[in-house]
Amino acid sequence: MSSLIPKKIREMEYRIEADPSKGMKVPVTIYADEKLLQKMLTDRTIQQAVNVSTIPGVLKHVVVLPDGHEGYGFPVGGVAAMDAEKGMISPGGVGYDINCGVRLIKTNLLEKDVRPKLKDLVTELFTSIPSGVGSKGAVKLSSSDLDEVLVKGVQWAVSHGYGSQDDADVCEENGQIKNADPSKISPTARKRGAPQLGSLGSGNHFLEIQRVDQIHDKEAAKKMGILHEGQITVLIHCGSRGFGHQVCSDYLRVSEQALPKYNINLVDRELACVPNSSDEGESYRKAMFAALNYAWSNRQMITHWTRKAFERVFKQTESDLDMKLIYDVAHNIAKVEKHKIDGELRSVVVHRKGATRAFPQGRDEIPRKYRDIGQPVFIPGSMGTGSWILLGKPNSMDLSFGSTAHGAGRMMSRSAARRGFTENQVQKTLSDRGIFIKALTREGVVEETPEAYKDVDAVANVSHELGIATKVAKLVPIGVIKG
């Protein structure tokens, strides 16, 4: 139980003031409703955010978003900005699943078209998309192929016939971040990454067939191609697989070993970090960027196989089915961006750990298609409840370094879920809600039971009410594939 009790500033905003006696350099701001905050107080979420506020070069405040929960070093659902010149970069502030992200594909099908073929469709998708722990992708990559993936990201996939340039145009960074360097990747990470490209993985990763349940912002929804309730969409949630995990492990070790060299004293070793401008900081960034590109390429290939599965089941082409990518958002990422701090624009390294960018209209970083309305944001919930499409708004720049929540956030550990539920119970709960699921393992179903997650509606609502990112539409699952 946390001994730190945040002070309420206003509805849905709480603060722990900077306390120099604890080594805090900036305050901690928590965006949550009362119930979400109470949950955070039952684990180390707030304490971890306070720990982050002691890192050299941290600026303005450390943010905990409404899906916040305990993580490795940094809380998941945490955002921190470090001075790009004098501040740090921290592998734990990005996390193990580098560029775990979510992409949404629209179709012109309605629920009534899909229901009769739902089991066939889920089975076809399950068969054609590799999933599970250590699962192998469907392509064999040579060492030079892997280098290309790490540098080119989505562009590699598109040039090999997996999708089109239109897909790249609606990804953060167009699915290819510059300055990735394969030479900064360890042989172990390469060995883990080469066989896994084009696979979903396990844990909270999934592919969902969803129907549009509610539309809140008709204009934004229309721009995204969401035209009416009952329309079918596909949500893909996965990341950089064992490759990103290994990159994080490798550079946590590098950072720990470099602490004495830079005379960095930390309150928690899990916060291991190095100066952003140091050789170690540069190397980690180039390796992390390679993992970002790997993840974008991975999601792109899964998108391609998803379209092919739909083609086979509905006997129509992907263009007949209008299966366009709406957008792809990244979580678990650190990038240099310009933000206003104390009234002046500064270059900062924004760490988004279990957080997603939510830039407002007019920002050059947003794909041209959405620049006049703002960036689409997706908040996936549990496989039994639903997901939200939101739209980045100006308040995000002042309140959260242009960021919002990345999901519902766990309420319950995986082991607690295994103790509390059986596979049959979970299957029945989903089936009663009209949801058909296929999973590789019993654990995959039980650990991801809807009860293990926070209320995604509450999480989206906090973002909406604060004007960080506002509600566009709610999607509910009808078919789920789990690793």
The annotated binding site is made up of 97, 204-208, 237, 331-332, 380-383, 387, 406-409, 482
* Three-state DSSP state, 454: coil
Residue from 250, 151, 247, 156 nearest 198 by CA: 156
Contact assessment for residue 101 and residue 95, using Cβ atoms and an 8 Å cutoff:
no
* Three-state DSSP state, 15: strand
Q: Which one is catalytic: 61, 69, 406, 464? A: 406
Residues 6+ apart with CB under 8 A from 114: 121, 209, 232, 478, 479
* H-run or E-run covering 152: helix 143-152
> Tokens at residue 150, please?
């790490």
Cα radius of gyration (the chain): 21
Q: How far apart are CA 393 and CA 370, in angstroms?
A: 12
The annotation places the binding site for Mn(2+) at: 97, 205, 237, 331
* H-run or E-run covering 104: strand 101-110
DSSP secondary-structure letter at 51? H
Q: Is 61 a residue of the active site?
A: no
Angle at alpha carbon of residue 241, lines to 236 and 244, rounded to 5°: 120
Q: How far apart are CA 146 and CA 195, in angstroms?
A: 10
Cβ neighbours around 368 below 10 Å, total: 9
Q: How far apart are CA 235 and CA 25, in angstroms?
A: 39
> Tokens at residue 449, please?
């039971």
Cβ neighbours around 25 below 10 Å, total: 16
Beta-bridge mates of residue 209: 234, 479
Residues 6+ apart with CB under 8 A from 313: 117, 120, 121, 124
> Tokens at residue 187, please?
């042989």
* Three-state DSSP state, 113: helix
Report CA torsion sign: 207, 209, 213, 215.
Answer: positive
Burial label for 162, CB within 10 Å (0-12, 13-18, 19+), is: buried
The annotation places the binding site for GMP at: 204-208, 331-332, 380-383, 387, 406-409, 482
> Tokens at residue 473, please?
């539409």
Catalytic residues: 406
